Amino acid sequence: MAVKLKVFTFNLRTETTVDGDNIFWNRTGRIQELLAAEKPDLIGFQEVTDKMRDWLRTSLPGYTVLGCGRGKDYRGESMALAYRTDDFELIGLEQFWLSPTPDQPGTRFSGDQSSCPRMVTDVTLKHHDAEELIRFYNTHLDHKGAVARLLGATQLMQAISQWGGKFVLTGDFNALPETVEMQTITSCKYLPIIDATALLGGTFHNFGRKEKPSKIDYIFTNADCDPAESQIIEDIPVNGIYLSDHNPVCAYITIE
């Protein structure tokens, strides 16, 4: 049976006092309202600290939230993901670091990468109304190093190709569509990939400070998907409070 899934990628912006009125804890009400109204089936979050992850687990009824911190002690920012608990069975969970030693927590590429480790959280899921499995990957590439992003994107493609089945990949890739690192994904010759965000504009607006938002948030899949159905969730501030410094992005994919 064909099942159409609503997929979000959503950089929540880490909790920091430099954001003033837009500190994360002032935005939680709006985030809850949005997700309760939109009811996505799968959500890839980025920049989720330990406290934010705890908040997600207690504040999103009906969802299972998974992921650990990127540090060597499994704490710190995570690439947390969520799925609707009643609709999916969890078959497997994996977390690996984008580095020469992916199984070693807190590791990173040398060279131009920032001091931040980068990682991937992925789950294998079975929807109760579908026959095939889907693997859901969520990541956040480096904000500083183009080479580090390229190496991370290549590692991601290798992991996804080893899976071989249907997948969806969400994330903040910190790169524009025309860059080499993004072309590594969108022009991959050995793995057919649909960029569900291909027709969309910019997503990172820096709490409304950017006149022209940058397109750095993406959703990719090899499942049936019409990019014309994808959308950027408009973030109109309420009393100066935004959802985040990124717009959430929504796409629809169909599995059998």
Question: Partners of 92 in the beta sheet?
Answer: 124
Long-range contacts of 22-31 (CB under 8 A, 24+ apart): 22/207, 22/240, 22/241, 22/242, 22/245, 24/52, 26/241, 27/241, 27/242, 27/243, 27/244, 28/55, 28/59, 30/238, 30/241, 30/242, 30/243, 31/243, 31/244
pLDDT digits (tens, 9 = 90+) for 41-75: 999 999 999 999 999 999 999 999 999 999 999 99
Sequence spans of domains, the chain: 3-255
Does the domain spanning 3-255 belong to CATH 1.10.1040.10?
Answer: no
Q: How confident is the model at residue 139 (pLDDT cuts 50, 70, 90)?
A: very high
Mean pLDDT of 67-93: 98
Position 32 pLDDT exceeds 90: yes
Q: What pLDDT was estimated at residue 166?
A: 97
